[in-house]
Amino acid sequence: MFADIFLLQNYFNLDRFKGTEEKDGIKLGIREECANAYMNRKRRCKAHFERTGGYEDIARARTRPPEGLSPEAWEILINDLYLDPKYKDYCLKNKVNRAKQPFKSSHGSQSYAQKRHLNVIVLVLSIDLLTPLLNLYKIIFVVYRLKNS
């Protein structure tokens, strides 16, 4: 992760944001992107493990590492993570808990009330932005009708 930040600093020259309010936001954004990339990779590897044999055929899954991952790293991932009893228990509990949810959530850690509130704000803002356009459309429509009548 630190190597990624170092590369990004060199590529984007984050020094120009030193002492500004934006710097903390940019650093936070970079950390979030790195965390998301890690989580997505972990999820893709687990899905690959399940597709290539999973827990039913571990020997077959071992022989088919995902693209971009060395066989040695794949072996370590299987042995140290997927076959760890704590990890398997953790995954099973999550699966049971997800099954209990009556509908899927797609708004992260926000409560439903927060999400509704933000949706209302977005709706109000979009109506405020669209009102002048609608008025302009009405004027154009009236002019068009007058011209063609």
Return the pLDDT at 89: 94
Query: Once rounded to an integer, what is the mean pLDDT over residues 41-53?
Result: 92
Flag whether 146 is in a domain.
yes
> Hey, how many other C-beta atoms are within 10 angstroms of the C-beta on 88?
13
Number of compact structural domains in the chain: 1
Flag whether 143 is in a domain.
yes
pTM over 0.85: no
Q: What gap in Å lies between CA 98 and CA 100, rounded to an integer?
A: 5
Query: Once rounded to an integer, what is the mean pLDDT over residues 46-54?
Result: 93
Nearest to 68 by CA among 52, 48, 88: 48
Flag whether 129 is in a domain.
yes
Return the pLDDT at 63: 93
Flag whether 73 is in a domain.
no
Q: Which domain holds residue 138?
A: 112-149
Q: Mean pLDDT, the chain, as a whole number?
A: 81
Q: Place 96 in a pLDDT band, splitting at 50, 70 and 90.
A: very high
Name residue 35's amino acid.
Answer: A
Flag whether 66 is in a domain.
no
**Per-residue pLDDT tens digits for 81-92:** 999 999 999 989
| pLDDT above 80 (res 53) | yes
Return the pLDDT at 32: 86
Flag whether 128 is in a domain.
yes
